[in-house]
Structure 1
Amino acid sequence: MIPVVYSDYATSILSQLRRSGVDVHEFVSSAGLPTEYEQAEPTFLPLQTVFRLVQLTYDQLGPESGTHLMRVALREHIVPQLLCSVGSETTLKEALKRVIDALKVQLPQSDIELKLFGDHFLFSRYKAVNTEDTTFVWSEVFSLWAMIETIQALTKTDWIPTQIHLQSLCHDNITQCFPATIQFVQARTVSGVVIEHSLAQSTITVTKDETGFREEEEENNGIYYNAISHIYSALRPYVLEIKFDLERAAQVINVSKRTLQRRLKEQGITFRQLRDNLILDMAMEQLQRGETVSRVAVNMGFSSISQFSRAFKRLTGISPSRIALYPL
């Protein structure tokens, strides 16, 4: 299954780009976001799309301004959502474990850990390395700043790690996005930040005002996130059935049609949008593997290449031939 992520990540970045006076129309198209993305805001997007948006942001703004924008997007929109999973008073170590549980829902198929590293702890992320993936470096930069901003929010400090681990090789694209005081260790099995043992064991307090959810939403938030994540994963193998409609989808996940509609509505998505996103994910995955447009059109159940191309461009803003020409 192609990795997916909640649309909040892309929405936050686009919001900050607008604040910086950037015309985001081209960003939406070039990143592979659906053309009606800002109106529909699908619950899930291919993870690669978000990292492509990060890459475009750095290409447009440069390392200093690009990093500032990413940090603001994380601080104002994304990190507060993670803090709602943390109890009012606990240690940083325990708080990060709860944050990781939340991230595993928001970032399906992610491999995020907090583990001992000598006398300290390593807050890490693993992503399979694809040497042809031009966004890999930017996925590391974004993930590392997400870790740093989360720790800063929890500890209410300007903490910066003294050491960062990278899966990729260390070069200017990465080092220019971080303070010069950081030591980089390259070509590791995971990327992550080293946290001092004393800091990991320190007591932290999180108030409701610091989270991204109103009090009445907090109790059900984890339930809704898990529900939509499970729906997405459960329905993907069935989406290409000849009669894949709301009734069939409800049958697959063993709920009533009304319950399924309610759960989708709670996440601001319709069944058609969910189905379209599932088909888009599968088509994008095949195109990025090097399959021809004609083969993908047949695989996705379209009666003609032109019908598939129109549908693909309506959802992404770009033609499938463009993806096929430059596979990741």
Structure 2
Amino acid sequence: MSSSKDPVVPLIKSGYARVLVEIFYEYNHDPHQAIKDSGLPPDLFDLDQEFLPQEPMKKLIYLLANQLGITQFGDILRTAIRRKAIPRLIGEFSQCKTVKEALELSQAVFLYDSTVANVGLETSHGRTWYWCKRKVDESALFLWSEIWAVLYAVEFISVLTQRDWLPTQIKIQSDCADVYQSILGNSIQYFVANERVEWLIDDEVLALPLRISPKAFEEKKPLVSWHANFTDRVFTSLLPYVREHNLTLEEAAELLSMTPRTLQRRLTEERTSFRRIKDNLLYTVAVDMMGEQLSLTHIANQLGYSNIAHFSRSFKRISGLTPKVYQKIILSLNDEP
């Protein structure tokens, strides 16, 4: 049975990785090696609403930053967030009357695209801070994932107010204020090594009426009904990788930012195993590929089976039908008018 102690698998919509890659193409930079080295799925451009583990996204940001340098990457990152990332969700704030209402709603909205969104608005000693709580780690990836969060909030409030907004003070969790000065300038006062990232927002800005261009609205997507247990979250996070990777337990654990032992233990607590999840993943992807009219030989090779007979036995063990019978009976039913 799942409990409140379940580790939350940090997931983010694959569309955000595409946002970065698309902007890099526009600036005539080749991100292919960074995509490969980050561990993102090779078919990234065919994905949008699928959830991915956050760790490869952090690696992508880090690798692209090293490729370009701080200042240039900061400019590209702000452009990607403003032009591509924020329009994905901005329409969800259409019923808000003021900037303050939008910021108060943002926690619920951001959960559309990330399982670990943790933001809020707080007033203390007459000053109002918009905050974001993130898990701190000592890796080189943390700084650039923090920079993404800081720039996202700056661009988000700029879109809400239709002005180039910058806070007068920012609290950060890292101790790298010089990096932020290179990207956002020296007009901001930075406080380092805090428990949360926080942006100071003037009352005048909070009271501004919302000014979102109708062109920024996208069709509302239903709020994600979060997976009831740890097993479901693991399945969702690994699904985009199965089509191109014969995932091992160790590789899956790395994607989920946990040890293989912890992953095995948590799955055992929910009366399942990595093998069972992998079987279900392979079955799901195999069915999708059959629906695309791909040959069984191609599917078997793509999913890492040594031969079609091995694939057929595995498929039958999971579904009760051989792939050929499944194609003949199940898929033909779907084709009927």
**Normalised TM-score (structure 1):** 0.70
**Which whole-Å deviations, capped at 9, do the CAs of 1:274-297 have from their partners, x for residues lacking one?**
9779x96985563354549xx99x
Structure 2 residue identity aligned to 1:98: L
Deviation at residue 8 of structure 1 after TM alignment? 1.5
Is the Cα contact below 8 Å between 1:92 and 1:204 reproduced in 2?
yes
Please say if residues 2 and 285 of structure 1, whose CA atoms lie closer than 8 Å, have aligned partners that are also in contact: no
State the 1:98 CA deviation. 2.2
- Relative CO higher for 1 or 2, CA cutoff 8 Å, sep ≥ 6? 1
Mapping 1:73-222, distance limit 5 Å = 73-87=80-94, 90-131=97-138, 133-211=139-217, 213=218, 217-218=219-220, 221=221
Q: Residues 178-327 of structure 1: matches in 2 within 5 Å?
A: 178-211=184-217, 213=218, 217-218=219-220, 221=221, 223=222, 225-227=223-225, 230=226, 233-234=227-228, 236-237=230-231, 273=240, 284=251, 286-287=253-254, 288-289=257-258, 291=260, 300-301=274-275
Which segments of 5 or more consecutive residues in structure 1 lack a partner in the other structure? Answer: 250-270, 303-307, 309-313, 316-328
CA contact (8 A) 2:133 2:196 kept: yes
> Shift in Å at residue 236 of structure 1?
4.8
Which whole-Å CA distance do the structure 2 matches of 1:9 and 1:100 have between them? 18
| Cα distance in 1 between the residues matched to 2:114 and 2:99 | 21
Task: Tell me, yes or no, if the aligned pair for 2:41 and 2:240 is still in contact at 8 Å.
Answer: no
Alpha-carbon contact 1:115-1:122 (below 8 Å) kept: yes
Following TM superposition, by how much is the alpha carbon of 1:27 offset from its aligned partner in structure 2, in angstroms?
1.4
Which residue identity is paired with 2:224? N
SS of 1:38's equivalent in the other structure is helix
Q: 1 CA distance for matches of 2:11 and 2:258? A: 17
Is residue 50 from structure 1 mapped to residue 57 from structure 2 by the alignment? yes
Which entry has the higher C-alpha Rg, 1 or 2? 2
For 1:149 and 1:239, the matched residues in 2 are separated by 30
Against the structure 1 CA distance between its residues 210 and 180, is the aligned structure 2 distance closer, same or farther, given a 3 Å change threshold? same
Deviation at 1:238, TM superposition (A): 5.5
Q: Deviations over 1:105-155 (max 9, x none)?
A: 311122111111332221111111122x22111111110110000100110
Question: What is the DSSP-based 3-state SS (H/G/I as helix, E as strand, rest coil) of the residue aligned with 1:203?
Answer: coil
In 1, Cα distance between equivalents of 2:230 and 2:141:
25
Q: Work out the CA distance in 2 between the residues paired with 1:17 and 1:89.
A: 33
Q: In 2, Cα distance between the equivalents of 1:154 and 1:276? A: 39
- Rounded to whole Å, the distance in 2 between the matches of 1:282 and 1:190 is 33
* Displacement of 1:239: 8.4
SS in structure 1 of the partner of residue 64 of structure 2: helix
Structure 2: gaps of 5 or more residues: 1-7, 266-272, 277-281, 283-301, 304-337
- Note closer, same or farther for the CA distance 1:41–1:83 as it changes in structure 2 (3 Å cut): closer
1-side partners of 2:27 and 2:131: how far apart? Answer: 31
Cα distance change on mapping 1:6 and 1:200 into 2, 3 Å: same
User: 2: distance between equivalents of 1:301 and 1:181?
Assistant: 54
Q: Aligned partners of 1:20, 1:102: CA distance in 2, in Å?
A: 30
Mapped pair 1:17 → 2:7: no
Cα separation, 2, equivalents of 1:300 and 1:110: 27
Q: RMSD value over aligned CA atoms?
A: 3.5
Please give the secondary structure, in 1, of the residue aligned with 2:92: coil
